[in-house]
Structure 1
Amino acid sequence: MFCIRSKLPRLATNIYLHFRLYSDSVKWKSVHLTNRSLIRIEGAESAGLLQGLVTNDINGLVDKEYPSMYCMFLNSAGRVLFDSIISPGFEPNQFFLEVDQAMSKNVIKHLSMYRVRRKIAIEPVSELKVYSVFHEDLKVRTESNLQTRSSHLGSTFCDGGVRNSVLPPVSNPTSICFPDPRVDLLGYRYIGPDHPESNLNFSLEQGTVLDYNIQRCVVGVTEGSGDIPPTKALPLEYNLDYLHGVNFHKGCYIGQELTARTHHTGIIRKRILPIKFGTEDHNIELDSTIVNESGKNVGKIRKTEGKHGLAMVRLAEAFSSASLKCGEVSVSVWKPVWWPQEKDEKKGSN
């Protein structure tokens, strides 16, 4: 069994001191994501099927360049059908798709429609569970080495869908564990038949889906059909490029045209941002409007969890406003630390 603690002495300078990913005083939480499902795709042509459907480049998984990838599946109009985290399975030519449980039947139907006559098995996985392993005090480097295409806040970012994690890898013959492919602040994804503690040799306490959702809100990451409305959402407005979920250099896939055209304009005027309410005692509903001090609409609520939430925000208007409110409740928004810097922020940029 691979033991994460066995790597600590060698990684102490780079990980513990600078990024504080490990701490004896902080317990990692493991959350069984009962709202997420696994779908197994298996067959010699399975990678080819996925390559024509996903926004990211499946070849990186085939060539073992990275352990997992984040992506979205789009319709022909370039709108999001569903988001997914894809990882290789235990067998050759096998992939696991982690998706919103509420969308799992739609996902299987979508994949089966494009399978045509290829010998590919597509089926739900009931013997394995999906966990998130994280702690709220994760601190990682800001992405100072990453830069958008222009000086405007929210400009598009092109990094080929690949991200280098500072979290060390974990391996075990009966489970799959990898850093969350979107951002290290979300810790690890774990796929296995048992609780992660049986295979990860460090201290864990059990958390709830609510704990995980609050962590996502604080970090600023949407997930699933509840946050990302199917057939309505534009992928780059949901930070797909910032979360390393799209490769602008791969071949054609369904929905590519609008996504590529939006990318080449260089500017996305609306994006998902983390928000915080002035009080936890509120009855704010999905799609409620956020207004500034002049009463101008600057955004809409996409998720709420107590004081925290996610919102689709008009960037220029929101960050130039003196104050924001949703109903009678004050709202604050901020730019996540993991966003790439604007072009003129990076020292030495032209």
Structure 2
Amino acid sequence: MQPARRVLASTGAASAVRSPGAFTCRACLTRLPAPQRRSFSRSAPRHAAPPGPVPAGLAELSSRKLISVSGPDAAKYLQGVITANLFPGYAGPNPTSEHLRTDAGFYAAFLTAQGRILHDVFIYRDACDTAHPPGHSWLVEVDAAEADRLQKHIRRYKLRAKFDVRLLDEGEGTVWQAWDDDATSSPAPIPPSETIIISTPDTRAPNLGHRLLTFSPTPLSSLLPIVPEASYHLRRYTYGIPEGQSELIFNQALPHESNADAMHAIDFRKGCYVGQELTIRTEHRGVVRKRILPCLLYPDGQVPLPGDLDLTGAYRPEIEDGVTAEQIPREASIGRAPGGKKGRSAGKWLRGVGNVGLALCRLEIMTDVVLPGEASSGAGGFGEGDEFVVGVERVGEGEEGRKVRIKAFVPEWLRKGLVRGEGH
């Protein structure tokens, strides 16, 4: 058996680790005895509030599923329907496997012809598929609730392309997120060598962690503590990272408003793909007035919070008196606090846990970000001390819904992206 190796520091091609001279195919792995289930069952609430942020952890993401796309035309098909580039640096008409990107996985999105997000995805080289030549087999990771819809979407538009599409069964492939804030190079031991694994950095934001795929029912053995999936979602929210179609609303969300540009999901030098026209026009000519931002919820009457507050340190499992972010309806309108300036809606709530979450915010109203060609403040614009509220769902019929205060923050990674992109 090979000795354990460090995997999270790797940034190169897919890591497919197996014992020397032995390989167990994915179909056979699914027939092995299932492992003892852990206390955090898949049936548990996805966003059950954790007690606090976890500086190091390994979370199984039951909220994500894998779709296999394999065959001679798989890469060519994906190149025409996703925002990322499978053939960076090549502009010719007939790319080959030699022109393919070499990283193990990357973040991307499927768009409508009108440039709206259908699905946010991670795409991986399926280095464990020995039935196809290199570059002919890919795994698409998608929101579990949307996996069947994406599979049907791919089948519908494959036409005569030569590739097969298959949604992996539960237990056939598992997605994990690993992170370690205390490690200088984010190391973590690789699982036993008989466990096949694909590892890639999560490049959506600096130091967010690593994505891992496993294809064995045997649980990962790691020095990192196994944590509930809710800990991963809390981490995403404090970083300001949306994921899945509960937060990137299907057929509505725009890539730039969803920070897909800043999260490295789009290659603006790439050739044609579905939804490219509006996306490119927005990048080069448009002004993006709304962005998904991390938000902190706090009780009415609390003093305004500083804009440079660390959301990790400010997290609480509830806002007040049992009220949590999960009680705020999705797309609830965010408005100015009573007694403040008048004006239109400042944004829409998306999702959260405890007292933090994500909202689609109007930058000129809820933040100090100055849009190109506009003043930093003014009537209806952002001002120091401005406060905003969002409604919590009603407890009983006829009972007036309560409101809680909400403050948006622009994370440093996104602020740098806005400066680099001059507002978009």
Q: Deviations over 1:32-90 (max 9, x none)?
A: 11111000111111000000000110125963443211111011111111110011012
Query: Which of 410, 415, 419 is matched with 1:335 structurally?
Result: 410
The match for 1:73 is 110
Query: Which of 46, 64, 67 is matched with 1:39 structurally?
Result: 67
- Decide whether the 8 Å contact of 1:190 with 1:196 is kept in 2: no
- Decide whether the 8 Å contact of 1:31 with 1:212 is kept in 2: yes
The match for 2:361 is 313
**Residues 5 and 278 from structure 1, CA distance in 2 versus in 1: closer, same or farther, beyond 3 angstroms?**
same
- Using the alignment, how far apart are the partners of 1:333 and 1:276 within structure 2? 7
The match for 2:178 is 133
The one-letter code of the counterpart of 2:120 is: D
- Using the alignment, how far apart are the partners of 1:269 and 1:331 within structure 2? 19
- Decide whether the 8 Å contact of 2:106 with 2:122 is kept in 1: yes
- Using the alignment, how far apart are the partners of 1:187 and 1:68 within structure 2? 13
The match for 1:291 is 335
Alignment of 1:1-350 (within 5 A): 3-4=5-6, 28-60=56-88, 63-90=100-127, 91=129, 92=134, 93-126=136-169, 127-135=172-180, 137=181, 174-192=196-214, 193-194=216-217, 197-198=220-221, 202-279=222-299, 280=319, 281-282=323-324, 283-292=327-336, 293-296=340-343, 297-319=345-367, 320-321=382-383, 322-327=386-391, 328-341=403-416
**Residues 68 and 288 from structure 1, CA distance in 2 versus in 1: closer, same or farther, beyond 3 angstroms?**
same
The one-letter code of the counterpart of 2:73 is: E
Residue 31 of structure 1 and its aligned partner are, at CA, apart by 1.1
The one-letter code of the counterpart of 2:63 is: N
Q: Deviations over 1:252-279 (max 9, x none)?
A: 0111111111111252110000001015
Structure 2: unaligned runs, 5 residues or longer = 11-53, 89-96, 300-318, 368-381, 392-402
The one-letter code of the counterpart of 1:4 is: R
- Decide whether the 8 Å contact of 2:61 with 2:176 is kept in 1: yes
Structure 1: unaligned runs, 5 residues or longer = 9-25, 141-165
- Using the alignment, how far apart are the partners of 1:32 and 1:188 within structure 2? 12
SS in structure 2 at match of 1:237: coil
- Decide whether the 8 Å contact of 1:274 with 1:310 is kept in 2: yes
Residue 304 of structure 1 and its aligned partner are, at CA, apart by 1.7
The one-letter code of the counterpart of 2:291 is: R
The one-letter code of the counterpart of 2:61 is: L
SS in structure 2 at match of 1:253: coil
RMSD: 2.9
- Which structure would you say has the larger RCO, counting Cα contacts within 8 Å and 6 or more residues apart? 1
Aligned pair count? 300
Give the strand-richer structure, 1 or 2. 1
SS in structure 2 at match of 1:116: coil
**Residues 169 and 101 from structure 1, CA distance in 2 versus in 1: closer, same or farther, beyond 3 angstroms?**
same
SS in structure 2 at match of 1:40: strand
The one-letter code of the counterpart of 2:283 is: H
SS in structure 2 at match of 1:30: strand
The one-letter code of the counterpart of 2:103 is: Y
- Decide whether the 8 Å contact of 1:38 with 1:125 is kept in 2: yes
Q: TM-score, normalised by structure 2?
A: 0.65
- Decide whether the 8 Å contact of 1:81 with 1:230 is kept in 2: yes
SS in structure 1 at match of 2:412: coil
**Residues 343 and 189 from structure 1, CA distance in 2 versus in 1: closer, same or farther, beyond 3 angstroms?**
closer
Give the helix-richer structure, 1 or 2. 1
SS in structure 2 at match of 1:302: strand
Residue 345 of structure 1 and its aligned partner are, at CA, apart by 8.9
Q: TM-score, normalised by structure 1?
A: 0.78
The one-letter code of the counterpart of 2:196 is: T
- Using the alignment, how far apart are the partners of 2:154 and 2:141 within structure 1? 14
Residue 295 of structure 1 and its aligned partner are, at CA, apart by 4.4
The one-letter code of the counterpart of 2:62 is: T
**Residues 252 and 268 from structure 1, CA distance in 2 versus in 1: closer, same or farther, beyond 3 angstroms?**
same
The one-letter code of the counterpart of 2:210 is: Y
Q: Deviations over 1:268-293 (max 9, x none)?
A: 11000000101522432211121233
The one-letter code of the counterpart of 1:87 is: Y
